[in-house]
Amino acid sequence: MPKLVVANWKEHPESIEEARALFSALKGLPCIVCPPFPFLEEASNYDFGHGAQDVSWEDEGPHTGEVSAGMLKAFGVTHVIVGHSERRALGETDAIINKKILKALREGLIPILCVGEPEAIHEKGTAAVEVYVGDELKEDLKGADPTKVIIAYEPIWAISTSGTGKTDTPADAADMIDFIKATLGVPDAQVLYGGSVSAENAESFLRVPTIGGVLVGGASLHPVEFKKIITYA
Ligand code: PGA
């Protein structure tokens, strides 16, 4: 299975001109770019893979601020990040995430479900981390076909903006990815690692055969660095 490289631009860049410059730098590259919603139309002019950062669980209606799967598909979006820790921190629950996963699957979008533990759980050790991530998987994927979902293991404390300055090791990430595959009961599931992936450390994660790719935040806004990550993949 080819390694997948996903760019999560979060709430960047500030202008369409900057977005266009980034899109041009990435054109033709084997990666999935998830820009903010207002840049999806412009993104659809470029031949990389198209993703979004969130999706509504409803088709349409009185849901201020929400964007439906149909609206995303109109711009060529095939993949959608669901349950990112930054959305969970805003109050997105496992029940909401589960509805979004089921909706994405019904609409033929491939969800990239983010799971991962906060620092306080990490400090308790592997058993606590497995309970935490295992519960997320169980709740978020209720009623879903686990073979149709991509998982991104993103320990919250390792995300570049978490302020901890810590990064996960490829060996520990690989152990969690094995745990996730076993929990899903899908030995060949595509499970990505995310959290401070950079041009410096990407190779060490990507050379682990069981790590299915990387979800990249900060470094994906720097084309030279991001292209190096794609080259390793
Ligand atoms: P980071 O973000 O690469 O900047 O740590 C990853 C993410 O939050 O998806």
Please state, in angstroms and rounded to a whole number, the distance separating the CA atoms of residues 97 and 80.
Answer: 12
Is the N-terminal amide bond of 35 cis, ω within 30° of 0? Answer: no
Alpha carbon distance 93, 216 (integer Å): 23
For residue 145, report the distance from its CA to the centre of ligand 1, in Å.
26
Exactly one of 50, 79, 84, 122 is catalytic; which is it?
A: 84
Cβ(8) – ligand 1 distance below 6 Å: yes
Using one digit for the tens of pLDDT, what is the confidence trace for 7-53? 999 999 999 999 999 999 999 999 999 999 999 999 999 999 999 99
Q: What is the DSSP letter of 81?
A: E
- Residue 214: which H helix or E strand, with range? strand 213-216
CB-based contact 34:79 (threshold 8 Å): yes
53 Cβ closer than 6 Å to some ligand 1 atom: no
**Interval 81-98: pLDDT, tens:** 999 999 999 999 999 999
Atom of ligand 1 nearest to the CA of 196: 5
Q: Predicted confidence band at 1 (pLDDT cuts at 50, 70, 90)?
A: confident
For residue range 51-60, what is the model confidence (pLDDT) as tens digits? 999 999 999 9
- State the helix-helix crossing angle for 223-232 and 16-26, rounded to 10 degrees: 30
Longest dimension (CA), the chain: 47
Encode pLDDT of 181-223 as tens digits.
999 999 999 999 999 999 999 999 999 999 999 999 999 999 9
Q: Which of 117, 130, 136, 154 is catalytic?
A: 154
136 assigned to active site: no
**Tens of pLDDT, residues 24-33:** 999 999 999 9
Which residue has the least CA distance to atom 6 on ligand 1?
217
**What average pLDDT does the structure give for the chain?**
98
Judged on CB neighbours under 10 Å (0-12, 13-18, 19+), 204 is: middle
Closest-lying ligand 1 atom to the alpha carbon of residue 219: 3
- Find the angle CA(149)-CA(153)-CA(158) to the nearest 5 degrees: 155
Distance (angstroms) between ligand 1 centre and the Cα of 84 equals 10
Cis amide leading into 13 (omega within 30): yes
Burial of 37: CB neighbours in 10 Å, binned 0-12, 13-18, 19+: middle
Question: pTM of the full predicted structure?
Answer: 0.98
Mean pLDDT of 143-171: 96
- Measured from the Cα of 158, ligand 1's closest atom is 5
Q: Tens digit of pLDDT for each residue in 110-156?
A: 999 999 999 999 999 999 999 999 999 999 999 999 999 999 999 99
